[in-house]
Structure 1
């Protein structure tokens, strides 16, 4: 796998994760981002021992886009504090089936993770294990494909919950195109396609210099090609 590296220095590495690749170490023989990043670092500066790679955030396997990895423990601690303190800015593009009632807005829900079935659900506040989930959305474009209405959304995450965008959009009546877990249309056997979700932009504060840094990649995938971006 050839890594598309957007930025790298001694502390951090910004890279585009391809669709279909695990963002952390995988329990299989399939490639994963952590292994590929370690291989890249070792190639640049071979040394004894395994290279340190800190996982700061995750993207679902069927989702591609911009990610940051830490190359030192101090950088990992700084970036993790930014994530937990909601000091990073993550912007996604998504193609959903249907159209939200409003052209822009905010969804606030409580999500409960079902670890056994690897899915999340919107539940009532107060349910044991439920966590607040918040995102902002804006309709960028809207069109019809074979009699079905599709909307291109720009989404900014305020929190980072398990499958958050996929669960919240489905829960509000506009599931993501191609989502085999949360969109009933794509749960049929043989109806296989990638989920139309892409992490297009990430803004962080550099853990050493304190400089605000933004990295962007144009969303990839056949559904995004239908829209002008």
Structure 2
């Protein structure tokens, strides 16, 4: 069942929830339980809705990633939010714990992402090739530890595994991300990439919505970095 304590923001048009690592956002061929379906079941019971519950997925984050995910509760909100996504008007900020500190410690990365559907993996290339799509992000190093650095990443495009592939490309794989070069996995099976904040103009009221997701409570290293 969906835990209502994971709701970070809700009104008549929007819902932002705190996704746990390991959760699927939408159903996939694996048949595993998906967050979208659990939220629909929760809303149907909570609000005693007689018919089907509308819930539109505005953006997805990978299964091993945690943090804020935005849903639309009305078709009008979904259409407007999808347009905002296409136009880059939804600001998405991530936190990543990386095995190396990038050099320089802040900057912008621009690569071309080539997705391999067979292995469900992406490559970050320095130049265009085949079906590769441009990928851009900004980053800055905001914390240091004995073995890891904390990066704040602003996603400027939304490509498959973009942050994971681009940080790996510059020699800074994300903690626990074996697929992209990390030294070891994490007991949770997740990776230390967290959708920290979403900020945008409300599609109906036009007021600014800014929501921050707490770091995973079960990982003490996250808690250490959050206090820095």
Q: How many residues align?
A: 223
Matched, 1:167 2:165: yes
CA deviation vs aligned residue, 1:153-200 (integer Å, no higher than 9, x gap)? 11111111111111000000010010021125237xx98742111011
- Pairs within 5 Å for 1:66-145: 66-144=68-146
Runs (5+) with no aligned partner, structure 1: none
Root-mean-square deviation (CA, aligned residues, Å) is 1.8
Out of 219-228 and 50-59, give the one that drifted further: 219-228
Task: Using the TM superposition, give the Cα deviation of residue 36 of structure 1 relative to its aligned residue in structure 2, in angstroms.
Answer: 1.4
Matched, 1:211 2:213: no
Aligned counterpart for 1:154 among listed residues 152, 155, 163: 152
SS in structure 2 at match of 1:186: coil
**Number of the residue aligned with 2:17:** 15
Out of 152-161 and 217-226, give the one that drifted further: 217-226
Matched, 1:183 2:181: yes
Task: Using the TM superposition, give the Cα deviation of residue 114 of structure 1 relative to its aligned residue in structure 2, in angstroms.
Answer: 0.8
Q: Distance in 2 between matches of 1:206 and 1:192?
A: 34
CA contact (8 A) 1:196 1:223 kept: no
TM-score if structure 1 supplies the norm length? 0.91
SS in structure 1 at match of 2:94: strand
Q: Distance in 2 between matches of 1:155 and 1:90?
A: 8
TM-score if structure 2 supplies the norm length? 0.91
Matched, 1:2 2:15: no
Moved over 4 A (4+): 190-193
**Number of the residue aligned with 2:42:** 40
Q: Distance in 2 between matches of 1:56 and 1:169?
A: 24
Task: Using the TM superposition, give the Cα deviation of residue 45 of structure 1 relative to its aligned residue in structure 2, in angstroms.
Answer: 2.4
Q: Distance in 2 between matches of 1:94 and 1:61?
A: 15
CA contact (8 A) 2:196 2:212 kept: yes
Task: Using the TM superposition, give the Cα deviation of residue 115 of structure 1 relative to its aligned residue in structure 2, in angstroms.
Answer: 1.0
CA contact (8 A) 1:22 1:32 kept: yes
Runs (5+) with no aligned partner, structure 2: none
